[in-house]
Structure formats: C-alpha cells, structure tokens
Amino acid sequence: MSAPPLLPGVPGDVTAPRQTLLPDLRRFRLADDASYTWRHTPEGGAEGVYRLVVPAGFEHDFASVPRPLWALVAPIDLGIASIFHDWLYARAGRAETLRWAGRTPGAGWEPVPKWWTRRDADRLFARLMREQGVPRWRRRAAFLAVRAFAGGVWGRRQTRPAPRP
C-alpha cells in the first residue's frame, strides 16, 4: 500500500457525508461515514498521518448554539467540524483514531492506543473550522464557547475504560 495522498504542510482531508434531517428538525443523521485525515506530530512522538472516522448512523445537531445567538453563530455556520466534535463529546473521547503504517509491507491503518482528551477534541474542532474556511471571529467565538460551557457535557459521559495496550 502507498501512503495516503496528504503532503506535509497541507490541510487535512475531510469527507462531507450525506445526512438526513430528523423529524424533530433539530438533529441530523449521517447516511455515510465522515472521515478526517491529517498530519500531526504528537508530543514526544514522530510525525504521522492520522484518521478519525464518524460512522454512518451517528446523530448530531451541528452545534448546540442557543437560538438567540444564531444571528451571530448559527450551528450550520461551523461546518463539518461540529460533527467530529459532537462524536468525540458523545463518546467522552473514546473514539478510535487510526495511524497510517503503510510503509510496512501489507500494513495500512492501525489503531492508536490513546483516547482523546476534552482539550484535544476542542483543538480538533478549531483546526477543522480553520481548514473549512470558517471566519476567524466565528471560530474564536465557537472555540471559547465550548471551552467555557461544554465541560459539563463531557464530564457526564466520562466513564472511560483504561487505554488499550
């Protein structure tokens, strides 16, 4: 297998899945998997190519922005970044991340034995918004809002098992 087509210094590659608006007119269901592939150098580690996949069937609301604030930041304005952020929050960081190991003959994507932290999830949210062209002021407002107000959502779901070996 050859390496995924993602050169150093370029934005990540994100898929925009088909979605269905649910009857409550507030949530959406993914009809296809959503994936994001990016280059990253973890602290104390070597640079690698990583992938996060949100499976078809996942339900999300794009962003939990209070309706009175929609004139400034409507949920849809934050783009696909909200899908990945909602996925990580819904699972309290217990989402499998894959790392490209294609240099080894017969290898491809391998699971990374580390769960996401809330800070990691919020940083990915900011990165995806930037790469998707969300204006800086809107990204900043959304990032500060999740840092200030979303901790309780993460904490209620935090029943994390020990990381895989």
The residues that bridge with 105 in the sheet, in sequence order, are none
Q: Which residues of 144-164 are buried (b: 16+ CB within 10 A; e: fewer)?
A: ebbeeebeebbeeeeeeeeee
Residue 136 is encoded by which pair of tokens? 């800086």
> Is 108:102 a contact under the CB 8 Å cutoff?
yes
Residue 63 pLDDT: 67
Residue 3 pLDDT: 44
Residue 33 pLDDT: 95
Residue 16 pLDDT: 81
> Is 161:113 a contact under the CB 8 Å cutoff?
no
Residue 66 pLDDT: 62
Instruction: Provide the residue type at 110 as one letter.
Output: E
Please list the rounded mean pLDDT of every run of 10 residues in the chain (165 residues): 50 84 86 92 78 93 66 68 90 91 76 89 90 87 81 59 43
Residue 55 pLDDT: 95
- Enter the pTM of the model: 0.79
